Amino acid sequence: MINLNANDFTLTLALILAVMGVITFFVGIIILAFKVKSDEFTSITEQSAKLMEKGIVEDVSEMMGNTTSLLETINQMVKTKAGIGVFLVLITFVLFGVAYYLITSL
């Protein structure tokens, strides 16, 4: 059994929170940098634009409505991924703040 006094336990907890903060920060930055605008979204957007052009030429309003709905959904997915990345970065600051508070309270 490991004997920990209160200071050692607090320091260990602060270290764990700091490591979790670093991991969360890097995951959030990776999501913001690489996952927000991926190739799949670009491909789907290009295909939707082609469908919309075809709908305009053939005067098919239902196809254009569905394509517009698809483009709005893609935009919402991009915003959601960006929101997740920003949320993870904000959680990083909370974790660092708690770790700092624990260390300074020793």
Rounded to 5 degrees, φ, ψ at 60 are -110, 95
DSSP classification of residue 5: -
As a whole number of angstroms, the distance between CA 45 and CA 74 comes to: 8
What are the sequence ranges of the domains in the chain? 6-104
| Separation between Cα atoms, residue 9 and residue 12, nearest integer Å | 5
The Cα–Cα gap between 32 and 42 comes to 16
Residue 24 structure tokens: 């969360």
pLDDT 10s digits, 3-26: 889 899 999 999 999 999 999 999
105: three-class secondary structure by DSSP: coil
Tell me the pLDDT tens digit for each residue of 22-76: 999 999 998 888 765 666 667 776 776 776 666 666 666 666 667 677 777 777 7
